[in-house]
Amino acid sequence: MPQTHIRFDWAIKKLLRNKANHVVLEGFLSELLGKQIKIQSILESESNQQTEDDKLNRVDIVAENDQGELILIEVQNSTEQDYFHRMLYGTAKLIT
């Protein structure tokens, strides 16, 4: 009999989209990164293009640490060749 598995990416996007539940994700990220993390927004990463010509930006979470630095967090569990290029694009998009 096949088993049904819940993917972590799905859990963040579906279960923790409610702002009341951000404390759970903030606690997890704070422990993982060793700094106090505050979520600024959870992005709809499949459809966050501002125009049809924009590239798809797959950043899932914009957070801020206790030093006021913005952090882009992407949840991904597969290998991708152009990962660093996409992260540079996501960073540039956040800055502009």
Q: Which positions ≥6 away from 71 have C-beta within 8 Å?
A: 33, 37, 62, 63, 64, 65
Highest mean pLDDT among 18-22, 62-66, 78-82: 62-66
Of residues 71 and 77, which shows the higher confidence score? 71
Give me the pLDDT at residue 63, please: 92
Mean residue pLDDT of the chain comes to: 75
Measured CA distances, 43 to 34, 67, 88 (Å): 23, 22, 17
Per-residue pLDDT reduced to its tens digit, 41-69 = 877 655 445 565 555 545 578 899 999 99
pTM for the model stands at: 0.58
Percent of the residues in the chain that have a pLDDT greater than 90, as a whole number: 17
What whole-number distance in Å separates Cα of residue 24 and Cα of residue 48? 24
